[in-house]
Amino acid sequence: NHYHCPIARTCIIQNPKNINNKLLCMVQMIHMAMNNALSVAKPGNIAEDIYNAYNNIVMQVDNLGKQSRIGYSFGIGYPPDWGEKTLSCRPNDKTILKKGMCLHLIAGCGDGFDYEYSEAIIIQDEYPELLCKTPRGLFIKENHNDTISYLDSDLNLCSYNLIQDNFDLDSIDFELKYI
């Protein structure tokens, strides 16, 4: 029983009206870059293609670039590590992607980014299967009720009911970043 499905979302504690423009631009840029990376995550391409697709967008928008890898293989893992160490989406990884491979793509983590989100995927013929159904976006918690808001990739403010949508906020290990 060592299967798992990694996921990362960013949650801030703040009034949505007070979010700065730099963070809003970062959210949009990272979503564009992730969508570009997902578009090349298909059989026959190589792990480096995913890295390049992601970084091509990031470099156009902000010239930041992501120096670290943007993804890795996962599956059966034993503590303290869950990676299989067989594939890493970074420069010079020429591993050929095959249908059924499981990857965790991490957008924005480290390298000076203030926003992070990830997708756990299974490589399929045309477009990868996304394993997590948690909405993409910047999660915002501003009070102590059961509702959390999130800004989707188009910066629309959406409401998400934690109880109704079976989302257990207490079970999540948040890394709080102060912006």
Q: pLDDT for 91-132, tens place per residue?
A: 999 999 999 999 999 987 666 667 888 999 999 999 999 998
Angstrom distance (rounded) from CA 58 to CA 28: 10
Angstrom distance (rounded) from CA 49 to CA 37: 8
Q: With bands split at pLDDT 50, 70 and 90, how would you rate the model's confidence at 177?
A: very low
Note the pLDDT of residue 2.
Answer: 57
Angstrom distance (rounded) from CA 66 to CA 33: 11
Angstrom distance (rounded) from CA 122 to CA 170: 28
Q: With bands split at pLDDT 50, 70 and 90, how would you rate the model's confidence at 172?
A: very low
Angstrom distance (rounded) from CA 92 to CA 89: 9
Q: pLDDT for 10-48, tens place per residue?
A: 888 888 888 888 888 888 888 999 999 999 999 999 999
Angstrom distance (rounded) from CA 95 to CA 76: 19
Q: Look at residue 82 and tell me whether its pLDDT is greater than 70.
A: no
SS3 state at 20: coil
Note the pLDDT of residue 79.
Answer: 58
Q: pLDDT for 123-171, tens place per residue?
A: 999 999 999 888 888 888 877 665 678 887 777 888 766 555 555 444 4
HSE of 168 in the Cβ direction (CA atoms, 13 Å)?
A: 4
Whether the predicted model's global pTM rises above the 0.85 cut:
no
Bridge partner list, 151: 138, 157
